[in-house]
Amino acid sequence: MRIAATIAASIAALLSLGLLAAGGVLLWGDSKKDEQGYLTTHTERFATDSYALATENLDLDLDGLDTVLDRDNYGKIRLKVDSGSPVFVGIAPTADVTRYLRNTAHALVTDVSYPDFDADYDARPGAERPAAPATQDFWAASANGPGPQTLTWDVEDGDWSIVVMNADTSRGVDARISAGAEAPLLAPLGWGMTIGGLLLLAFAAGAAVVAVRVERLPAVAA
């Protein structure tokens, strides 16, 4: 029994440390949200001499969460875009964006690094000028006009791409962009893991006490 209690205490202690560490990271992340409740990157400059900046496919697979969670719990994505000229920013299904930019020179934003929010670009050739983005009906969310623009989008399952362009579809996109995520489950998950870790730690302590007491029991005479 002493060996079993010792093993149980060791396993519970290791698991509790993992849960406490994970919970601490999640709670720390939640504490870094801004006043609107978003975890936000630094603002960085993104530029291309072509007609548009577009992200590669953003594959959002909710793994059936939509059947057990209210959609509000998925969170939102927020993009803040500022350019010296009227700018357009939109998010749409990747298939629609691919068709829209198929014959247009544009740059795919790849390998975005965090937390610096730097990116590499993959230039795609094309000879045609795109149609005005604001006239397209496939955008799930968009914003356009002079001055800083903010796009807010409710996270949804699927394949998505983000596009940033000059509102008049002219060449030479030069914008300062920051991205944010609402992540409403950070705090509940963080507290859940922290409490679970504390409970396991208490179990580990109890198992250790049992192991010590069993070891100290006098042997029964035959």
Q: What is the pLDDT of residues 152-203, one digit of tens each?
A: 998 888 899 999 999 999 999 999 998 887 766 656 676 777 787 777 777 7
Is pTM beyond 0.75? Reply is: no
Full DSSP string of 45-112: EEEESSSEEEE--EEE--TTGGGTS-GGGG-EEEEEEEESS-EEEEEEEHHHHHHHHTTS-EEEEEEE
Radius of gyration for the chain, computed over Cα atoms and rounded to the nearest angstrom: 26
**41 contacts: CB under 8 Å, gap ≥ 6:** 114, 115, 117, 178, 179, 180
Phi-psi region of 145 (alpha: psi -120 to 50; beta: other; left: phi over 0): left
pLDDT given for residue 186 in this prediction? 58
**Boundaries of every domain in the chain:** 2-28+187-216, 35-182
pLDDT given for residue 15 in this prediction? 80
pLDDT given for residue 59 in this prediction? 63
pLDDT given for residue 67 in this prediction? 46
d(CA 58, CA 98): 13
pLDDT given for residue 213 in this prediction? 66
pLDDT given for residue 115 in this prediction? 59
Low-confidence ranges of the chain (pLDDT < 70): 1-2, 4-5, 9, 26-33, 59-74, 111-118, 183-188, 190, 207-222
pLDDT given for residue 139 in this prediction? 96
